[in-house]
């Protein structure tokens, strides 16, 4: 493991939800049924537990909340940030 001073900052994890109900963690399309597994993979070696969510303005909040539940199932300490939709 690298000393703290020379570690690269961790890239933010952004989950995008499109109006077509596509889930794109860090730009990679993932089936809704695989979302928990993919988020778990992305967090595997991370200390940072932040997930930013950007949903299209036409996506209902219930869909966003379900994605948040999936992420919370990976690790109850996940913190969320909501980004302005497109």
Q: What is the pLDDT of residue 49?
A: 85
Q: Is 74 within 8 Å of 43 (Cβ atoms)?
A: yes
* Helix (H), strand (E) counts: the chain: 2, 4
Q: What is the pLDDT of residue 65?
A: 94
Mean pLDDT of 46-67: 92
Q: Number of structural domains, the chain?
A: 1
The CATH number covering residue 71 comes to 3.30.420
Q: Which domain holds residue 69?
A: 4-83
- 4-53 pLDDT, tens digit each: 555 555 689 999 999 999 999 999 999 999 999 999 898 888 888 899 99
What does pTM read for this prediction? 0.82
Q: What is the pLDDT of residue 4?
A: 54
């Amino acid at each position: 493991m690298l000393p703290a001073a020379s570690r690269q900052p961790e890239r933010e994890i952004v989950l995008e939800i499109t109006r077509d109900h596509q889930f794109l963690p860090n730009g990679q399309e993932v089936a809704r049924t695989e979302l928990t597994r993919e988020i778990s993979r992305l967090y595997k070696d991370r200390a940072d537990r932040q997930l930013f969510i950007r949903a299209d303005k036409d996506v209902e909040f219930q869909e966003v909340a379900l994605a948040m539940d999936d992420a919370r199932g990976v690790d109850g300490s996940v913190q969320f940030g909501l980004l302005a939709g497109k």
